[in-house]
């Protein structure tokens, strides 16, 4: 029996991976995927947090509980348990005949330096592995990271000063991202595919179709439910971010053990859950700057563009002739480079 192929979307976070997980989970339930495309779920994977199955447990094969991301909503698994699920998925796919491909979505992998260990394990069960890495605007990536810091009560992020955050820590986001590309490309017996992520795409199927076309060369089959007009995790509006910052700033003044700090934390979490629910309900059809989204000034964008110019050049070099495609030219044009 021949081994199947595997394709893994390795992230990074905030590049449509939840939309991908949503789509493939729902498409598996509806039975609309081709027979030779397998998305491990149910008995082929670990229990999901809700209806969206993603494969972030792959991270556990090369990690341990001490450095598992705080945002994980599913149980941490042992390396042997992860390998067993990978084996089961590959065995199931092999039963579908030659040309079967197993799809994994695991955005937590993109920054791991010991990722070759995971690939070595998976190559025991798969004929080949394609790694898909999304390239997102450095300014937008930084904004997302700063917002995550605001939404985490434990982190003392008390402002929206993106430039100050990007200046800390020496190596900038762009340099780290390019080093990730080089590290993944160096893994033997794998193919790394870079795909652009567009900030202003208003159709939930955009990222899905781009990824799905790597599997079959065609757009993804449409779900029976309304998926295309909604964004799974729309951003919080500016007024919400300001409320969270104000409450966090006040709460942190009282120290971690003060009753007033605990009360402020409860208020913070209530605001966060309420505003997140409102944003998810409205969807990104209602999200625009006129209604209060956080946007950078032209001066801030120009400064980030200058600071990241070497990183943009490095990405063009990694893309080679692909950088001249219509899609990538559109992405670089949107970046103003």
The model's pTM:
0.87
Predicted confidence at residue 173, as pLDDT, reads 64
Question: Residue 303 class from Cβ within 10 Å (0-12 exposed, 13-18 middle, 19+ buried)?
Answer: middle
More confident residue, 80 or 12: 80
Task: Give the burial string for 256-265 (b: 16+ CB within 10 Å, else e).
Answer: eeeeebeebb
State yes or no: pLDDT of 171 exceeds 70: no
The predicted pLDDT at position 21 comes to 94
What number does CATH give the domain 5-150+174-216?
Answer: 3.40.50
Reported as a single tens digit per residue, the pLDDT across 279-329 is: 766 654 454 444 578 889 999 999 888 888 888 998 999 899 999 999 999
Better-scored residue on pLDDT, 259 or 175: 259
- Confidence (pLDDT) at 165: 87
Secondary structure (H, E, C), the chain: CCCCEEEEEEECCCCCHHHHHHHHHHHHHHCCCCCCEECCCHHHCCCCECCECCCCCHHHHCCCHHHCCCCCCCCCCCHHHHHHHHHHHHHHHHCCCCCCEEEEECHHHCCCCCHHHHHHHHCCCCCCEEEEEEECCHHHHHHHHHHHHHHCCCCCCCCCCHHHHHHCCCCCHHHHHHHHHHHHHCCCCEEEEEEECCCCCCCCHHHHHHHHHHHHCCCCCCCCCCCCCCCCCCCCCHHHHHHHHHHHHHHHHCCCCCHHHHHHHHHHHHHHHHHHHHHHHHCHHHCCHHHCCCCCCHHHHHHHHHHCHHHHHHHHHHHHHHHHCHHHHHHHHHHCC
Among 66-80, 88-102, 138-152, 164-178, which range has the highest average pLDDT? 88-102
User: Tokens 């090369």 label which residue?
Assistant: 62
Rounded distance, CA 46 to CA 50, Å?
A: 12
- pLDDT class of 277 with cuts at 50, 70, 90: confident
Between these two residues, 39 and 171, which has the higher pLDDT value? 39
Q: Shortest CA distance to 223 belongs to which of 18, 36, 7, 31? A: 31
State yes or no: pLDDT of 148 exceeds 50: yes
- Higher pLDDT residue, 202 or 141? 141
Segment 195-249, tens digit of pLDDT: 999 987 878 798 999 999 999 999 999 999 888 766 556 678 899 999 999 999 9
Of residues 110 and 34, which shows the higher confidence score?
34
Q: Residue 60, by phi and psi: left (phi above 0), alpha (psi -120 to 50) or beta?
A: alpha
Report whether pLDDT(140) > 70: yes
Mean pLDDT of 253-269: 89
């Amino acid at each position: 029996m021949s081994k199947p192929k595997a394709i893994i979307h390795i992230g990074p976070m905030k590049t449509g991976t939840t939309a991908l997980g949503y789509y493939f989970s729902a498409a598996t339930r509806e039975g609309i995927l081709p027979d030779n495309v397998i998305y491990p779920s149910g008995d082929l994977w670990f229990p999901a947090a809700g209806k969206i199955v993603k494969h972030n447990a792959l991270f556990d094969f090369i990690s341990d509980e001490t450095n598992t991301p705080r945002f994980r909503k599913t149980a941490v698994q042992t390396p042997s348990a992860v390998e067993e699920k990978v084996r089961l998925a590959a065995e199931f796919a092999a039963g579908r005949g030659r040309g079967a491909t197993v799809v994994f979505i695991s955005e937590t992998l993109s920054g791991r330096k010991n990722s070759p260990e995971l690939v070595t394990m998976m190559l025991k069960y798969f004929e080949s592995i394609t790694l898909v890495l999304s390239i997102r605007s450095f300014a937008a990536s930084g904004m997302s990271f700063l917002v995550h810091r605001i939404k985490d009560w434990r982190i003392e992020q008390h402002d929206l000063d993106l430039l100050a955050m990007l200046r800390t820590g020496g190596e900038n986001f762009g340099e780290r991202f390019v080093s990730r590309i080089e590290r993944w490309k160096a893994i033997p017996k794998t193919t790394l595919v870079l795909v652009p992520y567009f900030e202003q795409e208003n159709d939930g199927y955009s990222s899905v179709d781009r990824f799905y076309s790597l599997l079959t060369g065609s757009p993804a089959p449409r779900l029976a439910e309304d998926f295309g007009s909604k964004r799974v995790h729309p951003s919080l509006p500016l007024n919400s971010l300001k409320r969270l910052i104000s409450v966090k700033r006040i709460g942190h003044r009282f120290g971690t053990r003060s009753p007033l700090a605990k009360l402020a934390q409860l208020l913070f979490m209530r605001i966060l859950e309420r505003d997140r629910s409102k944003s998810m309900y409205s969807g990104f059809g209602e999200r625009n700057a006129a209604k209060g989204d956080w946007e950078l000034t032209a001066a801030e964008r120009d400064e980030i563009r200058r600071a990241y110019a070497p990183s943009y050049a490095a990405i063009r070099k990694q893309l080679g002739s692909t950088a001249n495609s219509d899609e990538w030219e559109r992405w670089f044009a949107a970046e103003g480079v």
